[in-house]
Chains A and B, each alone.
Chain A
């Protein structure tokens, strides 16, 4: 279990100490480096190299020369730069936002990522995203009307928490977006593999109970977590990273690669952290986290996180 190894490149000693502590407590063996030139000597064949976007060039160079390496990267700035790297390099699939250069990424997020490395067969439960004592609900969504019902439930849940109206509306949009993907884009004919409804978003869809999507929404009062799962497992890494990169690029809608990235962009803009967990052909699970303690301005300016686990 403790064979996984992480090398942390961090110049700020306080942040470095905290990172070392958090990763070590999760069970990883951790080595720390103050300067880029120290990193190569600390690496093992399958290490995870952890660094800020500032050191992206070094990380990319090391990844090119060592095929067993993976990278976790963080940033306190907009995610565009890291997204470009993630689009090019499949071994960069964990992007952590942090408040500023003098803070670590969110500790629970680091622990989550560490746990995924140490026990890949046991992904942390939905409950791991929230403090003990949270409240939430689960709703199966098999058709268009169910989608509408679920979106209303989400909005009502958020409204009843006393959140501002715009948060409720934002979550309504988010739920709508995620459910559209789950019941329109994801379903395929099990025999032919052909998409069933992706061509017509205006059609009424009805899925069998085993093909239905599942929506989970819960909050501990500080954080809201939303998760939508479908049983098709078709979401690919490129849909996430390249799609979002296209959406963030803005400009005229570029649909030449299957979508303009608008859906992914809307999801990204409504959360502080997104987790995509895909088991090929079996399950796609998308989880979004929203921090209720942030006002809108802080939320917009905060660097976001994006994690993808699944087939490349």
Chain B
């Protein structure tokens, strides 16, 4: 018997669609499974015209019937939408885009998508966001760059077939988001979009004594206060509806603008203030004597159609309600149903303090006209000025052209000055950040209580230019004194390794084979660290600091493991340690310096240890140099290895694909720690196999970082080695075991393995 029934209500939702709207832009965030239960046409039927952004990051499954429903959805949506952007597409969605030609619909453009990457060492799958504009070169070339794994530093590789994976997005070309869409995504929804899209721009319209300025993009320290304030007069309207993020420097600039503009203006009207702007920059002090807030936006949520949208609140119209810190009742823009305000308490209590603005009908009409007027996008994105009614006031076209040229000259001059000012400001900020991270308030040091920073030992004061035969290691500020000391020791030994590298580089082959392997990686780590230290992002600094510290520790550990007798105990440990305790915020942090004494003969001995070669089977090898750990953080290399220095053309190692620069870590499972063990093990194993024949596997780290196994066939046998792509299968009669992976219904095969 079989029966069918209509789909029942009340089942758990497989697909969740969250809607966020702001003006004509709507973001739809899809989470869950797209299968036959998804009603594409039904969803599209509830949507109105405008620009749509579809976030497809949380799609976990798509079935074949789900694809049909989806195609119905995007086709119908494209019929009414002005534009449809796909963002943060999950790899699963990218697969569908590649397979089904109309998956994006006629108007769909993919702005960003995730690509799968994998680190074999950590056994971790990760995904990286690609943006169609920012990463256009990688997408077009279909060659995603490998990047070091955040955990272990080994390269993460792109875990897909690039030709297939990038075929759709490469074919569509670079997609740039319009400024308003980028602003909506970055500021309202906190998405990552290209930096250029958030750049500040100001569009200006003048009519009579009224000036309308639409401010779009992020409000930060680059805000051109002076340039903007200059010449503002009459009635000035700032439309802030497309304003992006506001940082403290931007807020300060805005306050200055208001202060500078107030004397020359009759009234400064702020309309369309974003919630963040309204909450932070519309206090009576901020507004000054002439500033008024005409309108601001607040988020409202509709339970009926699951839409959260931004509603513009006219302060004059709703003042009687707002003054009691109560949000006015608003109808859902989509379904007309009731909504509830989801703004924070901070905003609501603040808007209660806003004065009722007095904006006359003519001004309102001027604002409406200016807002409705399509924005002219000039090639130079800084300013766009349109002068309404200029001709009616008798200006000739020639005069206007002259004015435009003069304005352009001023703008260029101003821009150059502005750039220079920005550069010096950035340098000052970088300096301040670096200083902040280098020290706090001095509390005490290892010299003794009561000592000041001035009591630092001479070798600490001269840490940047240490005396000959010495190396100084220095930690960053650390809450744990022991960790700081470890860091300083690691940095000191890493400095010893640098000294040795300088000496060893006199050997050209060593320099070409060994130093070239890690030099760039080391430099990059230091550059990233310095950059992060000067930057404002504390998280990035911590990450860069950790990366550098961990690598330095590995360099130090490899030095200890491979240097042998060339590194005397006196040089392996610091001869002096100095620490300082600083107060940072409400806590304490430590900074440690270590002094290593490395006499010239020690450096010479160490350089010899790493530049001398030993050979077997036509291959000469160096002992693994510790500096390699700057490039590869690898447990396989922690005990050392042998770097192939030269290979004869007849060497069996060359014949199986090994090249100069490869690192041999094991032969037939026996670990190779240096050049001597390489020769010893290779000779022994070769002699052993020569008698019976067979394969001698070598574990080798190739230039690309991949750890591979190469096999030297010692005696040719008739045995076919012409591969087998699959594993062996007994071919029937198996019985299933039990245990291991838990099974929900029990292991049914144990009762009848051949069923």
A binds B: yes
Q: Are B2 and A196 in contact (CB under 8 A)?
A: yes
Per the bound structure, the CA–CA distance linking A204 and B737 in Å amounts to 36
Q: Are A187 and B2 in contact (CB under 8 A)?
A: yes
Q: Are A108 and B62 in contact (CB under 8 A)?
A: no
Q: Looking at the complex, which one of A17, A180, A296 makes contact with B116 (CB distance below 8 Å)?
A: A296
Q: Looking at the complex, which one of B64, B723, B734 makes contact with A103 (CB distance below 8 Å)?
A: B723
- The total of interchain contacts (Cβ-Cβ below 8 angstroms) comes to 229
Determine whether A219 belongs to the interface, using a CB cutoff of 8 Å to chain B: yes
Q: Are A202 and B753 in contact (CB under 8 A)?
A: no
Per the bound structure, the CA–CA distance linking A112 and B3 in Å amounts to 38
- Closest residue of B by beta carbon distance from A122: B732
Q: Are A108 and B5 in contact (CB under 8 A)?
A: no
Interface segment, one of B94-102, B214-222, B339-347: B94-102
A168-188 contact mask (Cβ, 8 Å, vs B): 1 or 0: 010011001100100000010
Q: Are A197 and B748 in contact (CB under 8 A)?
A: no
Q: Are B749 and A203 in contact (CB under 8 A)?
A: no
Contacts of A211 in B (CB 8 A): 2
Q: Are B64 and A263 in contact (CB under 8 A)?
A: yes
Interface residues on B, range: 35 or more
In the complex where A135-B747, A218-B749, A295-B118 touch, is A128 in contact with B729 (Cβ < 8 A)?
yes
- Chain B proximity of A302: nearest CB distance (Å): 8
Q: Looking at the complex, which one of B100, B740, B749 makes contact with A262 (CB distance below 8 Å)?
A: B100
In the complex where A125-B755, A253-B100 touch, is A204 in contact with B7 (Cβ < 8 A)?
yes
Q: Are A134 and B736 in contact (CB under 8 A)?
A: yes
Q: Looking at the complex, which one of A108, A112, A291 makes contact with B728 (CB distance below 8 Å)?
A: A108
Q: Are A253 and B68 in contact (CB under 8 A)?
A: yes
Chain B, 714-741, CB within 8 A of any chain A CB:
720-741
- Chain B proximity of A89: nearest CB distance (Å): 25
Chain B, 79-108, CB within 8 A of any chain A CB:
91-92, 95, 98-102
Per the bound structure, the CA–CA distance linking A115 and B5 in Å amounts to 44
Contacts of A62 in B (CB 8 A): none
- Chain A proximity of B647: nearest CB distance (Å): 25
Interface residues on A, range: 35 or more
Per the bound structure, the CA–CA distance linking A204 and B745 in Å amounts to 24
- Closest residue of B by beta carbon distance from A133: B737
Chain A, 102-142, CB within 8 A of any chain B CB:
102-109, 111-112, 115, 124-139
Provide the main secondary structure of the chain A interface.
mixed
Per the bound structure, the CA–CA distance linking A250 and B167 in Å amounts to 12
- Closest residue of A by beta carbon distance from B748: A138
Determine whether A282 belongs to the interface, using a CB cutoff of 8 Å to chain B: no
- Closest residue of A by beta carbon distance from B67: A262
In the complex where A100-B723, A202-B37, A223-B727 touch, is A135 in contact with B64 (Cβ < 8 A)?
no
Q: Are A18 and B64 in contact (CB under 8 A)?
A: no
Q: Are A262 and B101 in contact (CB under 8 A)?
A: no
In the complex where A99-B725, A206-B2 touch, is A125 in contact with B754 (Cβ < 8 A)?
yes
In the complex where A295-B118, A301-B161 touch, is A128 in contact with B734 (Cβ < 8 A)?
yes
**Residues in chain A within 8 A of chain B (CB atoms):** 12, 14-15, 17-18, 97-100, 102-109, 111-112, 115, 124-139, 153, 156-157, 160-161, 164-166, 169, 172-173, 176-177, 180, 187, 196-197, 200-208, 211, 216, 218-219, 221-223, 247, 250-253, 260, 262-263, 265-266, 269, 291, 293, 295-297, 300-302
10 intermolecular pairs with C-beta atoms under 8 Å apart: A18-B720, A98-B725, A104-B723, A137-B743, A153-B745, A177-B64, A206-B2, A206-B5, A208-B2, A296-B159
What 9 A-B pairs are tightest by C-beta distance, nearest first? A106-B726, A108-B729, A14-B722, A99-B725, A262-B64, A103-B723, A127-B734, A201-B36, A263-B64
Known contacts A127-B734, A176-B63; 17 further A-B pairs (Cβ under 8 A)? A102-B723, A105-B726, A108-B726, A111-B731, A112-B729, A124-B732, A128-B729, A128-B734, A172-B61, A180-B64, A197-B2, A201-B36, A208-B1, A250-B99, A253-B71, A253-B102, A297-B160
